[in-house]
Structure 1
């Protein structure tokens, strides 16, 4: 089905969201966009017993080969290296599609397809989607809440899939001042390690979470964060794996503004290194769903 959204009028004032509402027709392709702005973060504590309500989601239903809803998911295009000397060119949608079985696929392939990268003719293409249309128009962003995705991630040297969040003021203040929350990243040669990080000015928090014996990131897992005015907690399959508190972050806490969503499959770069002869292409990142929640308002 098309992305699910809910306005913020029924949420606590701590949640600020920029929501895209999708109106269905018989063909399912009529959309309308409305912006809702919440109140500033409260000084009172976050509710101790939160009742979550869904504010955004996409189940990625649709026929095989169809593009994800372009009113929400916007390709981020280019082969600039993306600050990490990455080797892929992110295409304008060719590498992102529905598989007809309820999943979004982001596919990395060998070959240039005529694209130029920072190092010359591109050796790989891949896909990157965000919920930001431009520096002054965002399809979806939210301040605080639960962000989660059920995913099956590719493994192999040089592959770098990620589900992450960036502060919506990224163009105004830059990185890391805008803040970054990495819900999950995977360095493809480490098939049992889930990277979980947060970044702000002077803040580089996080490490890897090791999956239980016999499990791999190439299996289906649910990855999430629960983000409040006082802390960010990471989860894998419903279990909390690490927590960053406001006090611990100090002046690096820049997580009191709406953040938008990013999904991508990078190839190469300083962190994962380059693919080698053992890396299999095409490499596919599967996303069963993305769901976002906020706290239900008090009676």
Structure 2
């Protein structure tokens, strides 16, 4: 039934909900010539020694130099350098965190086997309670080994990792130009969208258990491009590099 619902959605045989975006309450348009470090943090390194490969056997090392801000875009460039790979990962942890709203980004994806860009959120209490109890909202994940597939996923204590609550949806033109990726997050429900089309939703009846519904607290944004790993794929095509992940904007609307 899960695959059937995706097929029906793609062929237009079921109606898609109209996206309702309220008042704009925050936006990052990447104006200027550098990241605003009053908003963004750089996460550096490869996760070692405490979390090598970021728990996913990822192959990249994050730097503060694999990006540029120019012409109203943030461009993350992922490179093959020597025996390894370099990329950029930035977060708004402790600086811009949000509880509920419609979150959206306009993104142009890198492509090729081994590439793994993402636009996602983590619970602001992660340093206190750890993952997955803090919760995770993966608004957009794309893995180059699966062309045309957009992933939308929630991780909680009850459903995380290989058993995460999510959906992947095929869009034939996903690799062409910019696309919109959004999530409408309310106190009762989380709904994901690609180009304003609903692709997944979650609304448990009992939201009192943080192991099921940790989504009643502020979350922060993460933008990054990983290489390889359990999800990105252990086989990496070194011929694809360098690859660029281009972010036009990130916006938050009231709902």
TM-score range, shorter chain: 0.7 to 0.9
More relative contact order in 1 or in 2 (CA 8 Å, sep 6+)?
Answer: 2
Matched, 1:201 2:154: no
Residue in 2 that maps onto 1:245:
203
Structure (1 or 2) with the larger CA radius of gyration: 1
- Give SS of 2:128's match: helix
Residue in 1 that maps onto 2:85:
124
- Give SS of 1:178's match: coil
Residue in 1 that maps onto 2:67:
96
Residue in 2 that maps onto 1:151:
107
- The 5 A counterparts of 1:248-267 are 251-267=211-227
Using the size of structure 1 for normalisation, the TM-score is 0.72
Query: Which is helix-richer, 1 or 2?
Result: 2
Matched, 1:68 2:38: no
- The 5 A counterparts of 1:6-85 are 52-62=22-32, 66-80=33-47, 81-85=53-57
Q: Select which of 99, 103, 107 maps to 2:77.
A: 107
How many residues were matched structurally? 226
Residue in 1 that maps onto 2:59:
87
CA distance in 1, matches of 2:68, 2:239: 22
Deviation at 1:240, TM superposition (A): 1.2
Deviation at 1:293, TM superposition (A): 1.2
CA distance in 2, matches of 1:163, 1:267: 15
CA distance in 2, matches of 1:190, 1:219: 17
Runs of 5+ consecutive residues of structure 2 not aligned to the other structure: 1-18, 48-52
Alpha-carbon distance change, 256 to 277 in structure 1, aligned in 2, over 3 angstroms: closer
CA distance in 2, matches of 1:227, 1:178: 16
Q: CA RMSD in A?
A: 1.9
Say whether the 8 Å CA contact 1:159–1:275 is kept in structure 2.
no
CA distance in 2, matches of 1:248, 1:224: 24
Say whether the 8 Å CA contact 2:114–2:237 is kept in structure 1.
no
CA distance in 1, matches of 2:227, 2:20: 39
CA distance in 1, matches of 2:206, 2:127: 26
Say whether the 8 Å CA contact 1:155–1:218 is kept in structure 2.
no
Runs of 4+ that moved beyond 2 A: 216-219, 246-251, 274-279
Say whether the 8 Å CA contact 1:155–1:188 is kept in structure 2.
yes
Using the size of structure 2 for normalisation, the TM-score is 0.83
Deviation at 1:188, TM superposition (A): 1.1
CA distance in 2, matches of 1:217, 1:153: 6
Residue in 1 that maps onto 2:139:
183
Alpha-carbon distance change, 50 to 108 in structure 1, aligned in 2, over 3 angstroms: closer
Alpha-carbon distance change, 285 to 108 in structure 1, aligned in 2, over 3 angstroms: same
Runs of 5+ consecutive residues of structure 1 not aligned to the other structure: 1-48, 113-121, 133-137
CA distance in 1, matches of 2:118, 2:97: 18
